Chain A
Amino acid sequence: MPVTLTERAAKHVSSFLAKRGKGVGLRLGVRTSGCSGLAYKLEFADAVNPEDVLFESNGVKVIVDPKSLPYIEGTELDFAREGLNEGFKFRNPNIKDECGCGESFTV
C-alpha cells in the first residue's frame, strides 16, 4: 500500500519546497512518545537514505523509513484549513485510536 498525497496537499508541499529553495521531497514517519504512544513525523527531506522507501504522488516525492512504514502504510496526507489554522492531516487506515490532539495514535 503506497503513501499518497491529495492533490491539494501536493500543491502545498510543492510550493513550500519551492519557497524553501532546497529539498528532494517530503519525509513521513512515526516516533514514540505523544499521549497515545506514537506520533507522526512530517519533515522536509534533503537526502534519501539507501534503506528508505520512496513513493511518488501528484508530483511529490514521499520518503518513508522502513521502520515507520508498517504504521503508516496506505496513509493519505491531506491539507486542510480549519478557521485561521491550516496544515496537514494524516488519513491513516492503520490506527485504532488517537488522542484528542490528533498528534499521536496507536495501531
Chain B
Amino acid sequence: MALLQISEPGESTAPHQHRLAVGIDLGTTNSLVATVRNGVAVVLNDHEGHPLLPSVVCYSRGRVQVGCPAQAEQACDPKNTIVSVKRFMGRGIRDVAHIENCPYDFVDAPGMLKIRTTAGTKSPVEVSAEILKALRLRAEQALIGNSGMELVGAVVTVPAYFDDAQRQATKDAARLAGLNVLRLLNEPTAAAIAYGLDNAAEGVYAIYDLGGGTFDISILRLSRGVFEVMATNGNAALGGDDFDHRLYCWVVEKAGLSLLSPEDTSVLLIQAREAKELLSAHAETRITATLSTGQFIDLTVRQQEFWEMTRNLVAKTLAPTRKALRDAGLAVDEVKGVVMVGGATRMPHVQQAVGELFRQVPLNNLDPDKVVALGAAMQANVLAGNRPSGDEWLLLDVIPLSLGIETMGGLVEKILPRNSTIPVARAQEFTTFKDGQTAMSMHVVQGDRDLVADCRSLARFELRGIPPMAAGAARIRVTFQVDADGLLAVSAREASSGVESSVTVKPSYGLTDDQITQMLKDSYEHARDDVHARALREQQVEAERMIEASESALREDADLLCAEEIETIRAELATLRRLAAATDHRAIKQQVERVNRVTGPFATRRMDRSVKRALTGRNVASIGP
C-alpha cells in the first residue's frame, strides 16, 4: 500500500486549466455532440443550426458523405448508403434481426460482418468512425476556433445492454476517428446525469430510453449526490426503426406490393418514418410515393390505426421494465420519477403506456433526443478535470450479466455477480484437481446459469508452470477486473511460485442480439434445473476424484491389502463409476461415502507406511527389522 502525502487544497485533482472535452451520443438513427460551456451543457449545432447528425454514411462517387447529404443519397443509392450501422457493431450476419430487409451487400467476416460498398469493404467500426469524425470536426470548429485549445477527449455513450464486443467496437471506432475516449458511458446513466443535476432531487428514478434501434430501461438511485444503477434491462433489437418497419409493412400490405427493389424499400421506409413523426402531433397523415415500377402509392393512415399496429411493440418495452423493477426489488410506487429518453418517446401512446405502468406522468422537460449527449458532456467535463475538487460526483454503473470461471464438471463459479457496480475488481482462490498438476486452463464465461454450457464463453487462457504438488495444495488466485468502460481483464496467479497469466477480454465479436435477454430469462426459468444440475455435477466430480485417488493408491500400495480387500474396493469403485454415469446425485453421494469407508483401513495403512518411510530417512541400516 502506497504511502500518501498531504496535498495543498484542490491540488490532488487535475490542473485547474480548463480543458475541452465533449460528450458524444452515437445513436442508431441520429448522433450528437455536446460540451459544457460556461458551466452549462449545450449541444453543438452544425453550420446550418441542426443539432442532430443523421447516423448515415454514404460511400459513392469516390467520396464519403455523412449526415444529411448522405441521407439524401439513401433513396437513389441504398446499397452504398449505410444507415443504423450501430445495429451491426460487434455483430455477425446471423445476429442481426431483419437483416433481409437491409439493402446492403454483406460479407460475413470472422467476428464482425462487413459491408461491400463502391469504396471497398467497410466494417461497422469504420462506418461509425466516419460519423464520429464528423462530430469531432464539428466540435473542433465550434470550440477550438476561438480559443486555440486542444480537444482532450470525449465520453461516448453506449446502450446499457451493449456487451463487451459492442463496447470494444465502439471504442475502436472512436480511436479510428482520432478521438481520445475518456470513458464509455451507459446512455441511461448519461440521461440521469443530465436530469439529476438539473433537478438535484434524491430518490429512485427509472430511465426509459426508446431510441432508434435499442430499448433500455435502467433503475437508478440518486442519493447524497451519488448515482447508483440498481438494475438494467432492455431489448437490444427494439426501437423507433421497428415502428417505421411496422408502418412500412402496413403500406406494403395495403398497396398489395411484392418483391420491392432496394431503392423502393428505402423510399417507403423514409415515408414511413416521416408519417410516424407526423402522427405524434396529427390525427392522420398521407403516405405518397412513386415506385420505380411507376406504381403510385397514396394511402392515409390514422393515428389510432398506427397505435393499434404498434401496440405490441410498446408492450415489448413494458415487460423488461417490470423485470428491471423486480431485479431492483422495487414496487412501482417507489419510483420517484420516470425519465423519457430517445426520439421515439415522443409518440403519445408510448408516453401514455409508460405513464400508466408507473402511475405518474413521465419527465420530459429536456429534449429526449439531447438528454444523453448533455449528460455525456457533463461527465466528460468532470473526467477532463474541469470541476473543482469538492464538487466532483461519483458514478456507479453495473455489469449486465454475471462473470465467472469454469470449474471442474463444467460448473460456473461466479466471481462478479450481475449488477455489480463498476469499476470493480474481485479475486477468488482456486486449487488443482490432480496430483502433480502443473497447468490450469482458465475459461472465462458470462451468464447467470450454473452450467458452462448454458453461458456464453468469453475467453480461455492457460496458467502454466505451477510447481507439482498434491491435489488441492496449490493456491491459484484468479482476479476479475472490470474497468469503468465495462471491459474485462482476468488474471491468474499461483501463490508459491508467482507464475502468472492473464487475458484481456477482447471478446469474440458476434453474440446474437437477443441472447443477453434470453440468457437472463433462462436463468430465472431454469433456476430449479440448475440447482439439480449443480448438485449432480458436484457429486460426479467428487466421484471422479475418489476413483482417481483410490486407483492411484492401489497402483502404489496394493501390497498392503489382501486379495479379498482389493476385490471389495474394486467392486465398490465399479458401482461408483456406474452411479456417476447416471443422474441421481444422492446415490452418488452415498456411494462416495461407502467407498470412503471401505478404503479407510487402507488409507490408515498407507499413512503408517509413509510415516515409517519418513522416519527411516536415508539411514536404513540403523533401523532393525
Chain A residues with CB under 8 Å of chain B are: 13, 16, 26-27, 29-33, 36-38, 40-47, 49, 65-67, 69-71, 80, 82, 85-90, 96-99, 101-103, 106
Contact = CB atoms under 8 A, between A and B. Distances in A.
Contacts of B389: 29, 31, 41, 43
A9 to B, nearest CB: 11
B224 A106 contact: no
B6 A31 contact: no
Interface residues of B, number: 32
B393 interface: yes
Contacts of A89: 1, 3-4
Nearest to B479: A97
Nearest to A98: B1
5 contacts: A43-B7, A44-B7, A67-B392, A85-B3, A89-B1
B6 A26 contact: yes
Classify the secondary structure of A's interface with B. Answer: strand
A32 B395 contact: yes
Given A43-B11, A88-B5, 11 more contacts: A31-B392, A32-B382, A32-B484, A33-B383, A36-B423, A36-B481, A37-B423, A66-B224, A67-B392, A88-B3, A101-B2
B134 interface: no
A34 to B, nearest CB: 9
Interface string B383-405: 10000011011110000000000
Contacts of A26: 6
Given A43-B9, A44-B8, A70-B226, A38 B394 contact: yes
Most buried by A among B1, B383, B392, B422: B1
Contact of B3 (A46, A70, A87): A87
Contacts of B224: 66-67, 69-70
Most buried by A among B2, B10, B226, B393: B2
A63 to B, nearest CB: 10
Given A37-B484, A67-B225, A101-B2, A32 B7 contact: no
A66 B225 CA distance: 8
B394 A43 contact: no
Contacts of B12: 31, 41-43
A43 B426 contact: no
Contacts of B481: 36
A37 B5 contact: no
A97 to B, nearest CB: 4
B424 interface: yes
Contacts of B11: 43
B190 to A, nearest CB: 15
A41 B427 CA distance: 25
A67 B3 contact: no
A99 B1 CA distance: 8
Nearest to B382: A32
A90 B394 contact: no
Contact of B1 (A71, A96, A102): A102
Given A97-B425, A97-B426, A99-B425, A67 B6 contact: no
A32 B382 CA distance: 9
Contacts of A49: 390
A66 B427 CA distance: 30
Contact of A87 (B4, B9, B10, B226): B4
Nearest to B13: A31
Interface in B1-58: 1-13
B6 A13 contact: yes
A74 to B, nearest CB: 16
A82 B609 CA distance: 49
Given A31-B392, A36-B425, A67-B393, A43 B10 contact: yes
B4 A80 contact: no
Contacts of B422: 37
What are the nearest 3 A-B pairs in CB distance?
A87-B3, A102-B1, A37-B423
